[in-house]
């Protein structure tokens, strides 16, 4: 039996103050010390079980961080107020002015904007490359490259990153591999494939109820200590701290993630197969037609499915908009950004979550105007959902590209 992230989470036991089945929630920003000497000592170095101030760490956040570290098979973790908080503080821990980041060309639009527009103001510049083209990737790495950044399954095109190959290229060039694993928690374990740091937007599948924004960083003990360092750590000094009541609720939801993933994955595979059968252009890594189907099959932990994300090319923006309006009316799901919710969510990334990427770069990468990204929900009767989608496709006039509909 290989690595089993769900069992690692399940076996993490923390009781509350009175033997409660859930850990107690820390409702304090600050902590008392028995002596001034002890306080001074804690400001100099971490002491297991002692806390100084909740922006640095608090017990409830530590419980969630420890569970996520176990899930990712990392030594340590820190939780943050958002996925972007996790990404930005990670990159600021690794890079200084004059350094470079090499990054996949199709990534979440917020990350793209951070690398393209904000970090250059602090002297950190990024090059965007097709991560499937390893020669182009090698050519983009320079002695100044500190980070190779990718998403395990890219947003929104669902390209699978060849993590062992990317780790080798990063390390050959003295860089660290940072992987955003938001789309594939439990399904892929990047640290086990050579990554140095894993980040998540916990806002998505990990939490699963679309009721809060949160993130995390998982890595070595040494890296998390640098991230939180009182004198120079970006997490400590920029302060994107997660509220402890949220950390407690996310920890509870984490315990059902494996079951939700199986249902998201089974529903997405069903819809992707049926839509492809009707002749539509569908990207879903669980389909044999997906270019990296075999690669993900080799990388994934068995038993959690192929993920809940799929894309459908409706042909053009007007048709995509008609289709999404109809699908919302027919209660297929909601026209909304984000993902990992128990309801199906759909959006055109070109006009929402990837709008930060210029049109010509989106087109060059295959992110067409008519592309709809779906986060497939936990629907009990997915055949009924498919029947509704089918009626909407006909009414919207969405024509299959492969062949005529029968």
Interface with ligand PLP by CB under 6 A: which residues? Answer: 82-84, 108, 110, 151, 155, 180, 182, 201, 203, 213, 215, 353
CA distance to 24, 324, 331, 332, per residue, from 387 (Å): 46, 15, 12, 10
Nearer of residues 5 and 215 to ligand PLP, judged by Cβ: 215
Nearer of residues 82 and 319 to ligand PLP, judged by Cβ: 82
Nearer of residues 228 and 347 to ligand PLP, judged by Cβ: 347
Q: Smallest distance, Å, CB 181 to ligand PLP? A: 9
Q: Hunting for tokens 């037609």 — which residue is that?
A: 289
Q: Smallest distance, Å, CB 109 to ligand PLP? A: 8
CA distance to 62, 288, 300, 372, 394, per residue, from 271 (Å): 38, 14, 21, 14, 16
- Whether 126 and 140 have beta carbons less than 8 Å apart is answered as no
Distance (Å, rounded) from C-alpha 188 to C-alpha 201?
Answer: 15
Triad 173, 175, 179: Cα angle to 5°: 130
In this structure, are strands 215-219 and 76-80 parallel, antiparallel, or unpaired? Answer: antiparallel
Q: Smallest distance, Å, CB 264 to ligand PLP? A: 15
Nearer of residues 273 and 338 to ligand PLP, judged by Cβ: 338
Q: Smallest distance, Å, CB 154 to ligand PLP? A: 8
Q: Smallest distance, Å, CB 132 to ligand PLP? A: 18
User: Comparing C-alpha atoms, which of 245, 264, 266, 268 is closest to residue 256?
Assistant: 264
User: Comparing C-alpha atoms, which of 260, 255, 258 is closest to residue 341?
Assistant: 260
Q: Smallest distance, Å, CB 19 to ligand PLP? A: 34
Nearer of residues 82 and 89 to ligand PLP, judged by Cβ: 82
Q: Smallest distance, Å, CB 84 to ligand PLP? A: 4
Residue nearest to ligand PLP (CB): 83
Nearer of residues 108 and 304 to ligand PLP, judged by Cβ: 108
Q: Smallest distance, Å, CB 228 to ligand PLP? A: 19
Nearer of residues 83 and 370 to ligand PLP, judged by Cβ: 83
- Whether 344 and 332 have beta carbons less than 8 Å apart is answered as yes
Nearer of residues 61 and 82 to ligand PLP, judged by Cβ: 82
Distance (Å, rounded) from C-alpha 363 to C-alpha 359?
Answer: 6
Triad 130, 139, 299: Cα angle to 5°: 50
Q: Give 183's contacts (C-beta < 8 A, 6+ positions apart).
A: 151, 152, 153, 154, 155, 158, 204, 205, 307, 309, 339
Distance (Å, rounded) from C-alpha 296 to C-alpha 159?
Answer: 10
Distance (Å, rounded) from C-alpha 203 to C-alpha 210?
Answer: 7
């Amino acid at each position: 039996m290989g690595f089993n992230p769900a069992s690692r989470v399940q076996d993490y036991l923390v009781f509350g103050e009175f033997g409660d089945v859930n850990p107690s929630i820390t409702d304090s920003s600050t902590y008392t010390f028995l002596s001034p000497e002890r306080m001074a000592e804690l400001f100099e170095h971490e002491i297991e079980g002692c806390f100084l101030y909740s922006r640095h760490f608090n017990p409830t956040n530590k419980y969630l961080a420890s569970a996520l570290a176990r899930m990712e098979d990392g030594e340590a973790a820190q939780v943050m107020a958002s996925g972007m908080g996790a990404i930005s503080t990670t990159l600021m821990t690794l890079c200084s002015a004059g350094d470079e980041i090499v990054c996949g060309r199709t990534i979440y639009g917020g990350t793209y904007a951070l690398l393209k527009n904000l970090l250059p103001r602090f002297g950190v510049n990024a090059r965007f490359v097709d991560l499937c083209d390893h020669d182009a990737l090698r050519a983009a790495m320079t002695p100044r490259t500190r980070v190779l950044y990718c998403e395990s399954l890219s947003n929104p095109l669902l390209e699978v990153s060849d993590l062992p190959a990317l780790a080798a290229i990063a390390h050959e060039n003295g860089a660290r591999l940072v992987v955003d694993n938001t789309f594939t928690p439990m399904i892929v374990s990047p640290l086990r494939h050579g990554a140095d740091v894993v980040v998540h937007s916990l806002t998505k599948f990990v939490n699963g109820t679309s009721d809060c924004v949160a993130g995390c960083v998982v890595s070595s003990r040494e890296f998390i200590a640098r991230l939180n360092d009182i004198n120079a750590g970006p997490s400590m000094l920029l302060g994107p701290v997660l509220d402890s009541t949220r950390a407690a609720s996310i920890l509870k939801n984490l315990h059902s993630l494996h079951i939700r993933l199986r249902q998201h994955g089974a529903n997405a595979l069903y819809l992707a197969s049926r839509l492809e059968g009707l002749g539509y252009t569908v990207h879903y890594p669980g389909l044999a037609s997906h270019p990296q189907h075999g690669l993900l099959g080799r990388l994934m932990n068995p038993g959690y499915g192929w993920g809940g994300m799929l894309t459908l090319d409706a042909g053009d923006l007007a048709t995509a908009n008609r289709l999404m309006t109809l699908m919302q009316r027919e209660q297929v799901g909601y026209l909304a950004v984000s993902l990992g919710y128990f309801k199906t969510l759909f959006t055109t990334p070109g006009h929402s979550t990837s709008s930060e990427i210029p049109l010509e770069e989106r087109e060059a990468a295959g992110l067409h105007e008519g592309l709809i990204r779906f986060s497939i929900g936990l629907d009990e009767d997915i055949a009924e959902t498919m029947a509704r989608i089918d009626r909407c496709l006909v009414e919207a006039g969405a024509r299959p590209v492969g062949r005529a509909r029968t």
